[in-house]
Structure 1
Amino acid sequence: MVSCKNQEEKRIECVSVQGPIIVGAGPSGLAVSACLSKNDIPFLVLERSDCIASLWQHRTYDRLKLHLPKQFCELPHLGFPDNFPKYPTKHQFISYMEEYASHFSIKPRFKQAVKSAEYDNVDGFWRVHTQDTQYISKWLIVATGENAEPLIPEIGGFDMFHGRVVHASKYKSGSEFKNQQVLVVGCGNSGMEVSLDLCRHNATSHMVVRNTVHVLPREMFGFSTFGIAMALLKWFPLKLVDKILLLAANITIGNTDRLGLRRPKTGPMELKSVTGKTPVLDVGTLSQIKCGKIKVTEGVKEITRSGAKFIDGQEKEFDSIILATGYKSNVPSWLKGCNFFTKDGMPTTPFPNGWKGDDGLYTVGFTGRGLLGTASDAVKIAQDITNRWKNCPNTIKDCNNGCTSHVILLNKSCLGHFRG
């Protein structure tokens, strides 16, 4: 990798990358980096933040633990330490990510926010622009994932509310909301856990349930619910597995419809397979709902100065509002001239074939299947690039102006010498 200055326009650093450019240093970016490293393929990771796994380090609450057993959350070629518990904590997962990066000598370029990336059809390369640099490569791997930006619901009145409004990405602990009346918008895993955390800090949580939701116990009969599902799917059809899971859930946690948590008509595993929507794995919230410490409410119609009006006509006062409304992809904001992603920032090609596009474009972390999906796609991407690398007729060459590049040159005076 060599840099030079563009002499014809404002002085901006240009960097030619021998292997692929990977955008994002979260678990997805690290996983594909490790797989490339194992195959001796050079790469460059660009990360907008100042650390790896920035979502985990900066946007997660203190009590967070992995919802699945650690064996289902390992990245390729390096497992969790043996002394880690079955469900590692946030801080243990971060330490695993840091050790993972160190083990495979992954050294991202931090504070490099990608402003645009576009394929140059004339020269046959990707041009990736950050705030101060243009990177050029034959391959581009989009590893920013499904959770790049907080998703804010379209509910009117937030600007009128006198109290505090915070997205779950900024929530750390219920200690900040002690003795408050708090409205939690969202009933996914984050909404459930935030409500539980608030309850344990003597705040009264009112959790908004806007849609149907599958709630399953994290464990059934001493075994991981997810592990049971994966084992059953090896032998039985998906719909039958869903029936078994729901029967066992009714035995262990009861009928959630009575608590205001209506189940979808589609079973939990089928729903995840079709839409990517993950069932909620209960870690204690249901018991607090049953005893009335956490209130379940219907959808919010609008936010008022002192609280919220609900769809059923009720109006309540709140001290704070927490938006546990999830995240969204940010790919459409920077990937230009490409129709491989939808307007929502997800691959147009469904799983399991959404990892590869045209012109050397790859994606990892967009499967809707968590870290298992990430690991699977990372292996496929690395193998595909390795095959192309070995068959690539181009070599690293020097142009007369002293710029060195793999199948591309960095200024106009060099462009005539080599073409991809």
Structure 2
Amino acid sequence: MSTCLEAESSQIFVPGPIIVGAGPSGLSVAACLSNRGVPSVILERTDCLASLWQKRTYDRLKLHLPKHFCELPLMKFPKKFPKYPSKQQFISYVESYAARFNIKPVFNQTVENAEFDVVSGLWKVKTQDAVYTSTWLVVATGENAEPVVPDISGLKKFTGPVVHTSAYKSGSRFAYRKVLVVGCGNSGMEVCLDLCRYNALPHMVVRNSVHVLPRDFFGLSTFGIAMTLLKWFPLKLVDTFLLLLANFSLGNTDRLGLRRPKTGPIELKNATGKTPVLDVGAISLIQSGQIRVTQAVKEITRNGAKFVDGQEMDFDSIILATGYKSNVPDWLKDSSFFTKEGMPRKPFPNGWKGENGLYTVGFTRRGLLGTSFDAVKIAEDITDQWMKSNGPLCSSNICSSHIIHLHFNKS
């Protein structure tokens, strides 16, 4: 549970853990701690919960997996929600989740740096307004903190609009325009679909091989089928079965310019984090020619692009569906637990705990299922330490309204 703070001075001691990030990952940890009677404080750089969902997603977005695979710990989605909840439904679920567990992040607090002080044995987390100290630090900023803008030669020369999907809302502003969409993941495919709704002509750049699977097969979630089969059969056999389903349902995607990787979809996801595309209609539009597939871009020109196969085309706009990255290296100091890319060095399921009271959540490359797994583990581990140092736990209701904050003047 978290509470808003009014700092009497620049240093604030937090009795429980400091959680950086008020997305689903941070909220999950706070809820699991609250359920065990352990207080926490969430620091959030924006003015809202789940800011990625609220501020950086397109209007037509829906969960790609069935809702029961995307539930946060301790609270199910409302029964009235559809199998694949919309963006607004997911946001309402997150807001209800925070209310249920009395989670009140400290908003508009950008963490400038966080480091462990070996002398005091405490984490010091500096924002623009204060320095928060605690025995525990939970990094919950996740894999998708900052948009990735690729270094494409000539991009700055282009005279038309260049938009990353983090700023894309709908295809209405691109109606009847020729649009270059760089990226063929789930976001790139869905943006192309959305553009077609507004009679735009999207050209989707496919730089690498990609697995495309049907989202559903005869009414059953393909992901759900895979999860069930993995309980009984080896991963490679399940991958082979998924590819048979994909070929039966979608046909040979190689002929559409979408080459499949040699490694199977689940094995590739586990090894690299590269998520297979779950098709919700883009393949049929590629087959009909409403979405054009192009090779990699060699260079952007003033009016369009040159491709590696020698072709050159004019475009009205460019949309970068090039994903996101972690921002942990920008603010977490002297941590050998993370790579230079801001991901835990230890792979799932062991990447949730570091040293000196450092924890991470939302970095599993396994979506909200991975988040829930990590959140429960973190809460259990911190609760064990809390009990040893604080004695019997108070009830969650008492803790939620009586968090003690100590303020220290700078010497």
TM-score, normalized by the shorter chain, greater than 0.5: yes
SS of the equivalent of 1:132 reads coil
Kindly indicate whether residue 156 of structure 2 is the aligned counterpart of residue 159 of structure 1: yes
Of the three residues 358, 363, 368, the one matched with 2:365 is: 368
1:222 CA drift (Å): 1.6
Of the three residues 377, 381, 385, the one matched with 2:382 is: 385
> Is this contact kept in 1: 2:161–2:316, CA < 8 A?
yes
The one-character-per-residue Cα deviations of 1:181-224 (angstroms, maximum 9, x if unpaired) are 00000000000000011011100000000000000000012200
SS of the equivalent of 1:159 reads helix
Structure 1 pair 412–52 and aligned structure 2 pair: CA distance change class (3 A): closer
**1: distance between equivalents of 2:49 and 2:366?**
21
**1: distance between equivalents of 2:250 and 2:330?**
42
SS of the equivalent of 2:203 reads strand
SS of the equivalent of 2:155 reads coil
> Is this contact kept in 2: 1:65–1:89, CA < 8 A?
yes
> Is this contact kept in 2: 1:3–1:13, CA < 8 A?
no
RCO higher in structure (CA 8 A, sep ≥6)? 2
**2: distance between equivalents of 1:394 and 1:225?**
47
Structure 1 pair 71–4 and aligned structure 2 pair: CA distance change class (3 A): closer
Structure-2-length-normalised TM-score: 0.94
The one-character-per-residue Cα deviations of 1:211-252 (angstroms, maximum 9, x if unpaired) are 000000000122000000000000000000000010111111
Kindly indicate whether residue 52 of structure 2 is the aligned counterpart of residue 55 of structure 1: yes
**1: distance between equivalents of 2:70 and 2:350?**
21
Correspondence 1:136-175 to 2 at 5 A: 136-175=133-172
Of the three residues 402, 408, 411, the one matched with 1:410 is: 408
SS of the equivalent of 1:101 reads helix
Correspondence 1:31-110 to 2 at 5 A: 31-110=28-107
> Is this contact kept in 1: 2:298–2:306, CA < 8 A?
yes
**1: distance between equivalents of 2:389 and 2:144?**
34
Identity level (%): 69
1:155 CA drift (Å): 0.5
> Is this contact kept in 2: 1:272–1:278, CA < 8 A?
yes
**1: distance between equivalents of 2:289 and 2:70?**
34
1:410 CA drift (Å): 3.0
SS of the equivalent of 1:115 reads strand
> Is this contact kept in 2: 1:127–1:135, CA < 8 A?
yes
Correspondence 1:5-404 to 2 at 5 A: 13-392=10-389
**2: distance between equivalents of 1:58 and 1:287?**
30
Larger radius of gyration: 1
Match of 1:400 in 2: none
Amino acid at match of 2:50: A
CA RMSD of aligned residues (A): 1.7
Tell me whether 384-393 or 340-349 shows the greater mean CA deviation: 384-393
**1: distance between equivalents of 2:78 and 2:189?**
29
1:262 CA drift (Å): 0.3
SS of the equivalent of 2:162 reads strand
SS of the equivalent of 2:11 reads strand
Amino acid at match of 2:226: A
Amino acid at match of 2:340: K
Amino acid at match of 2:357: G
Aligned residues: 398
